[in-house]
Amino acid sequence: MEHKNHHNHHEHMIADFRKRFFVSLVLTIPILLLSPLVQNFLGLSETLAFQGDKYVLFLLSTIIFFYGGWPFLTGLISELKQKKPGMMTLIGLAITVAYTYSAAVTFGLEGKVFYWELATLIDVMLLGHWIEMRSVMSASRALEELARLMPSEAHLVMRNGAVKDIALAKIKKGNIVLVKPGEKIPADGIVIFGKSFVNESMLTGESVPVEKTINSEVVGGSTNGEGSLKIKVMKKGKDSFLSQVIELVREAQESKSKTQDLASKAALYLTIVAIFGGLVTLIVWYLIQGETLAFSLERTVTVMVITCPHALGLAVPLVVAVSSGISAKKGILIRNRVAFEKAKDIQAIIFDKTGTLTKGNFVVTDTVILDKKYKKAEIFKYAASLESHSEHPIAKGIIKKSKATWAVENFKAVSGKGVTGVVNSKNVEVVSPNYLKERKIEHKNSDIKKLIVQGKTVVFVLLDKKMVGAVALADEIRPESKKAIKTLANMGIKSIMLTGDNEKVAKWVSEELELDDYFAEVLPQEKSKKVKEIQKENLIVAMTGDGVNDAPALAQADVGLAVGAGTDVAIETADIVLVNSNPEDIVSVITLAKKTYGKMIQNLVWATGYNAVAIPVAAGVLYGYGILLSPAVGAALMSLSTVIVAINARLLKA
């Protein structure tokens, strides 16, 4: 509930900035038309001026100052309380000085008003913050998405054998629940009746659906296969596996360090410059040069207003907006800007195996002949004919490659062992290595041993009780993975694989892709710990994955990358989402992050650097040469700076 409230608060803040921007923008139009400087520029002084217009100008500016400027005024107070002056302090200071001085001029002080500069400054800063907040990731909905993995109801088996649907929250430890084919398992428990294959890949990372029989443990949130199961509930609520994953995600998200915004650093320095520059200007002109207070104050205010350039408020948000547009076209969704900026410094990338480096489905890789009377194609056709009647994931992999099959009679599935039947008047068996062990059937084929060492799944084909061949399958490696790993190596970035699969499978994939390192048989709750271990080597670490089991690790990493084909929770926990599930997009992320950061630096240098010239001139250092920077010229310089920053942002290319 707390997480949801935080998310709603963030949405409310975005809506609030949008509303304040449009209201202030509408009020700015009459302020511009009533400003003497604008009237003179348009040659409409006699047409637009009227008796008491300065008071109307004051009233409209007062509304903008307090309504449009409110976030910056409260931000100024907040930053000063925390002793961390930044962008809010700079903006708040500039608009307060401009408004206070202009109000004093309206009611008798000699000088010129800064109302239109005040209004446009507030407009631009509201726009900048609105753009920025939309670009920054809203509070992660990961915890809500995790909760959605659980069904809303469960089929409770009553003592009399009847089945009653009840709300998930009403389930108690010790209850018996029925899970029908294709349904999600409602709680952690033990199977007391039935057989089925359960897909736990989104929870454990294991690519193969796991067979569940009596006394097998099941995890809430996993998906049941073709069979019906009766489960005795052993854990629920905070003790469940899913709740523990939720807690890991929460801890990792809260512990993630937040880097300070570049623009805020620039704003801190400019705040110091503004205050110091304004005081020096006032002291020099009024106390040393002996000028009038009106002249000295005008110089001071000009310095303080010009120190807060419109461009600074847009320097980063505009680049972010352009960068987000480019990345979206490439199928890269940036959810956390701070993490995206950090992507330029990535030194190691940890890949989840299933669904990221691999496709997460079985494909046939080899067919081995054990009896030379048969050809490979014939052996495979016998296997495919039999497997065409099975729903097992291995069967699906074999069927996918088969072009034709023969008719099958007396088909029978032997749970956990394989399938049997009659094809072309021959007794055909497609069985697992365990089946051979039980029957004490041995093979001494070196090719098959090599395939098993590689971690591939091997099934054996028997015709009339005689072993004639074998078919090997493996989780299909994405063709893009190899290219991506090679490119990352050329960039000096380490590639590491983290998987729940066994050592043999992990080693085979690692060698195929030429990875720097791998960790196999890693339990879901240990994945975030592995990320921490690598971070302790003083490396900036990215993690990419697609399952619930990856969520804590994605949150713990400096940069979390989710492949779009994965679960909603992985996507919601990640900083960046790769919609196309293409490992090569990781290279694109790093390249774009480097270019985006470069543009941000260029914009910030321009947005703040021109102050080196503008501030001394505004202070009047060239007054002796007859050159005095008026507030109007200062405003024009600010506008020019904004235009340059906007054009530079648009020049960002992928």
Residues marked active site are found at 352
- CA torsion 75-79-82-83 (nearest 10°) is -160
Burial of 266 (0-12, 13-18, 19+ CB in 10 A): buried
Q: Residue 31: CB partners within 8 Å, gap ≥ 6?
A: 57, 60, 61, 64, 115, 116, 119
| DSSP letters spanning 500-532 | SS-HHHHHHHHHHHT-SEEE-S--GGGHHHHHH
Spatial separation of the C-alpha atoms in residues 196 and 230, rounded to whole Å: 11
Phi, psi of 576 (to 5 degrees): -135, 135
Spatial separation of the C-alpha atoms in residues 62 and 89, rounded to whole Å: 19
| Ramachandran area for residue 410 (φ above 0: left; ψ -120 to 50: alpha; else beta) | left
Of the candidates 3, 305, 271, the one whose C-alpha atom is nearest the C-alpha of residue 146 is 3
Query: For strand 229-235 and strand 210-212, is the pairing parallel, antiparallel, or unpaired?
Result: unpaired
Number of neighbours of residue 232 by Cβ within 10 angstroms: 17
Beta strands in 130-184 (DSSP E): 153-157, 163-167, 176-179
Three-state DSSP state, 494: strand
Spatial separation of the C-alpha atoms in residues 610 and 105, rounded to whole Å: 28
Taking CA atoms, 102 is separated from 110, 316, 370, 639, in Å, by: 10, 30, 95, 20
Of the candidates 473, 477, 453, 471, the one whose C-alpha atom is nearest the C-alpha of residue 360 is 477
DSSP tag of 620? T
Spatial separation of the C-alpha atoms in residues 299 and 283, rounded to whole Å: 11
The token pair that represents 184 in the structure block: 């999600």
Q: Residue 492: CB partners within 8 Å, gap ≥ 6?
A: 347
Q: Is the dihedral of CA 572, 577, 579, 581 positive or negative?
A: negative
Of the candidates 620, 640, 636, the one whose C-alpha atom is nearest the C-alpha of residue 628 is 620
Query: What's the one-letter identity of residue 377?
Result: A
The token pair that represents 643 in the structure block: 């235009």
171 touches 195 (CB < 8 A): no
Q: How far separated are the first and last CA of the chain, in Å rounded?
A: 40
Taking CA atoms, 73 is separated from 94, 119, 536, in Å, by: 10, 14, 41
Phi, psi of 370 (to 5 degrees): -115, -15
Spatial separation of the C-alpha atoms in residues 183 and 179, rounded to whole Å: 6
Taking CA atoms, 439 is separated from 256, 456, 594, in Å, by: 55, 22, 61
Burial of 459 (0-12, 13-18, 19+ CB in 10 A): buried
Of the candidates 204, 207, 205, 208, the one whose C-alpha atom is nearest the C-alpha of residue 220 is 204
